[in-house]
Structure 1
């Protein structure tokens, strides 16, 4: 790769320019900040280089390509959420864990989608996966099914958070949903549709209710998925 030409008038030494040293941690810190502001897929390596006042080649040298940087960002985000106490009953553990996960992932748009698609690195996720699996094994799930339940719950949570990321990026989307579903149904013989329209419009047209809408939907969906998992557990482990 050809080296970038020096910027005219710029000191070649960072010390001489009064600039802090470029380190892997500083690069990841800057990438984390860009992710919080723009989303993990919406910043470029050139923007990241500008944030640390360096050439893109310096990013490659210290961390790697953009995908490597993003992996490091996801790992850093995963380290932020709190794992519930291991002694909690499995359902309470998962409910608290997924709520903690949402509260962190919402601060870094796009991370949930990446985790849903590619998963985190083994190194970053090892403590989480270990404790999550142990709660399911202790509850009575067999090894293979515990693995499937673990993936189901995390994927479901990440998909809902991804949807919230997308809709929060475009405020007009929520207005359009409220306008479309808040309109009266085309005829009096659709009472079910009228009930749905009234509910959606009441929530999305009220700023306070609209702000809590996704959190309530997230909690509701997780509880219903846990209901299904609880039923399955009763089938395979009646005791």
Structure 2
């Protein structure tokens, strides 16, 4: 889900410093990330795109790491968090909605999720996602330990799946050749690795969204098995 660009931004090719701000430079960086991925951004290229001198980017946003941080923060902030739930039994549909929203947003900006894993949950936008999800997991009946590990597995799946889809989209022209090469290699060793051969029908026509959703269901099934039912929680609190 791409973040809509501000229609009032100056997209000229000149180097005028007027009319630019931290927000406008960040908007240009967001649009640029959609086209080349977060790692593809450089200060000079971003400045050219924004129609300013590189010093303007440094002045309004900062160095390259700071630019990438600003992009990542804006992307995560755009992930829609579902409304709070009153019934803890709705935990699964809530997490599914968050996962779909996160996948749709992150898959439009290749490189953002790997950047987040490297820098850690250090921005307000990331913290709000963690807080909301942890409250739902705890309300569903997971211990703090299980909720923490469960959230980590959940967000890793969403982020990694989205980034893989984004990477394939950026290199879509290379995909047929790579797919054919993968199939050839697997078929060459199929007799020795029959388990690997079972993947051919799925990997040869891999649907990233389907793979994301099927794996999400497997993950949520695992969370379900770790839940403590409300009746058991009530009994435990009474006897405790």
TM-score normalized with structure 2 length:
0.77
Change (3 A) 1:62 1:181: same
Give the CA RMSD over aligned residues. Answer: 3.0
Q: How many residues align?
A: 215
What aligned pairs does 1:31-70 form with structure 2 within 5 A after superposition?
31-70=29-68
8 Å Cα contact 2:190/2:197 also seen in 1: no
Ranges in structure 1 where 5+ consecutive residues have no aligned partner = 1-10, 205-209
Distance across 2 between alignment mates of 1:64 and 1:184: 50
Change (3 A) 1:186 1:144: closer
Deviation, structure 1 residue 189: 8.9
Change (3 A) 1:122 1:147: farther
Tell me whether 190-199 or 55-64 shows the greater mean CA deviation. 190-199
Q: Relative CO higher for 1 or 2, CA cutoff 8 Å, sep ≥ 6?
A: 2
Tell me whether 110-119 or 150-159 shows the greater mean CA deviation. 110-119
Distance across 2 between alignment mates of 1:156 and 1:131: 17
Q: Does 1:83 align with 2:85?
A: no
8 Å Cα contact 2:73/2:125 also seen in 1: yes
1:53-104 CA-to-partner distances (Å, cap 9, x unmatched) read 2221221111111111111111111121211122161121111111110101
What aligned pairs does 1:1-239 form with structure 2 within 5 A after superposition?
14=16, 20-87=18-85, 89-171=90-172, 172-181=174-183, 184=187, 195-201=198-204, 204=205, 213-234=207-228
Change (3 A) 1:44 1:186: closer
1:89-141 CA-to-partner distances (Å, cap 9, x unmatched) read 11211111111101011111111222233334331223322211110111112
8 Å Cα contact 1:102/1:157 also seen in 2: yes
Distance across 1 between alignment mates of 2:95 and 2:152: 12
Distance across 1 between alignment mates of 2:122 and 2:48: 27
Ranges in structure 2 where 5+ consecutive residues have no aligned partner = 1-13, 234-240
Per the alignment, in what secondary structure is the counterpart of residue 68 of structure 2? helix
Higher Rg of the two aligned structures: 1
Tell me whether 174-183 or 186-195 shows the greater mean CA deviation. 186-195
